[in-house]
Amino acid sequence: MSQLQNFREALALYRRHGWRPVRALMRAETLAELRRESSAVEGDADTPAFEGVRAEESVLDALWFTRASAGGREAWELRLVAEPPYALFELFEPEEAEEDREDVRREMEARLREYAAPTPES
């Protein structure tokens, strides 16, 4: 199965539970696959998008999701597209500044990169 198909399966699962995709993080190989597929379909591989969301080059394959939560809060989840599945979750208060939210999201990406980093052989 292609990595893009793995992305689509994760997306379908989250959508069933009310999550909305916001951003896709893709390794160079996955992004190249997306560009090949996009150019065959849309004719514009310079600005890749995955299922309508911006795709960014990264050292890992992951999807950002968001949905409304109780009390006006906003839930965000960063889902690693790999086996086994792994995700990080954060709940933002309505009055939190976007700059502070983005700082937390960057920290979450750093934690996910650390989790997904290959362990050195002893």
Number of neighbouring beta carbons within 10 Å of residue 49? 13
Average of per-residue pLDDT across 98-119: 93
Beta bridge partners of 50: 53
Residue 55 near residue 62 (C-beta atoms within 8 A): no
Decide which of 92 and 38 is more confident. Answer: 92
The helix (run of H) or strand (run of E) holding residue 21 is strand 20-26
Residue numbers of the domain that contains 76: 3-116
Between 121 and 31, whose confidence is greater?
A: 31
100 inside domain: yes
- Flag whether 122 is in a domain: no
Q: Is residue 121 part of a domain?
A: no
Q: How many domains does the chain have?
A: 1
30-80 tens-digit pLDDT: 999 998 887 654 545 455 789 889 899 999 999 999 999 999 999 999 999
What is the bridge-based pairing of β-strands 20-26 and 62-68? antiparallel
Strands (E), 37-99: 49-50, 53-57, 62-68, 74-80, 86-92
Taking 70 as the threshold, does the pLDDT of residue 121 lie above it?
A: no
**How much is the pLDDT for 120?**
62
